[in-house]
Amino acid sequence: MDEIEKEYKEARNYGRYDKKRECYINNKGEQLVHPGKVVYNDVLTVIPLSGEYYSNVAKDKDYVKKLDKIIKDVMTASLRQRDEERMKKNVENLVDELKKVADEEKMEGEKEEVKEEADVKLKRTVEVDDVDAAAEEKQIKKAD
């Protein structure tokens, strides 16, 4: 735990802040959590009792590294949850924007249909007027 707090302070001092993930990172690129944001009860459930710890260390040389990784994962769980929530919000916003765009396109399509219908009616009235004008010209020619 002290080592993790030391890494966090070191990252803060050297200004290793990742704007994308909104957290500090160590020199390996791993996320670091502010010690105040760690849920220590979750960390305590992961840490084994001393007898279990020493027997596992005797069996497996890499046990300490594995345990450290597990502890770091538990400590950064709050960051992952925050990232997941942010991604869900982004997806919801994208869906809402797509719905708005689809509605706008639907409205534009309806406007175009109304406009096309108006153009067709205008053409019909122009054709009718042309036919009427042609009929009047014929009557005038016949009268002459």
Residue 89 lies in a domain: yes
Looking at residue 72, its pLDDT comes to: 79
Residue 35 has pLDDT above 70, yes or no: no
User: 3-state SS string over the chain?
Assistant: CHHHHHHHHHHHHHCCEECCCCEEECCCCCEECCHHHCCHHHHHHHCCCHHHHHHHHHHCCCHHHHHHHHHHHHHCHHHHHHHHHHHHHHHHHHHHHHHHHHHHHHHHHHHHHHHHHHHHHHHHHHHHHHHHHHHHHHHHHHHC
Residue 82 lies in a domain: yes
Residue 133 has pLDDT above 70, yes or no: no
Residue 144 has pLDDT above 60, yes or no: no
Taking only the tens place, the pLDDT of each residue in 64-96 is 888 888 887 777 777 777 778 888 888 898 889
What percentage of the chain reaches a pLDDT higher than 70?
66
Taking only the tens place, the pLDDT of each residue in 45-55 is 778 888 888 88
Domain, as residue range, for 100: 2-106
Looking at residue 130, its pLDDT comes to: 61
Higher pLDDT, 72 or 12: 72
Average pLDDT for 127-139: 63
Token pair of 106 as six digits: 């639907």
Average pLDDT for 3-13: 72
Considering its fold, how many domains does the chain have in total? 1
Residue 64 lies in a domain: yes
Residue 127 lies in a domain: no
Residue 39 lies in a domain: yes
Residue 45 lies in a domain: yes
Q: What mean pLDDT is reported for the chain?
A: 75
Residue 24 lies in a domain: yes
Alpha carbon dihedral 138, 142, 143, 144, in 10-degree steps, equals 100
Q: Is 10 exposed, middle or buried (0-12, 13-18, 19+ CB in 10 A)?
A: middle
* Residue at token pair 């869900």: 88
Residue 117 lies in a domain: no
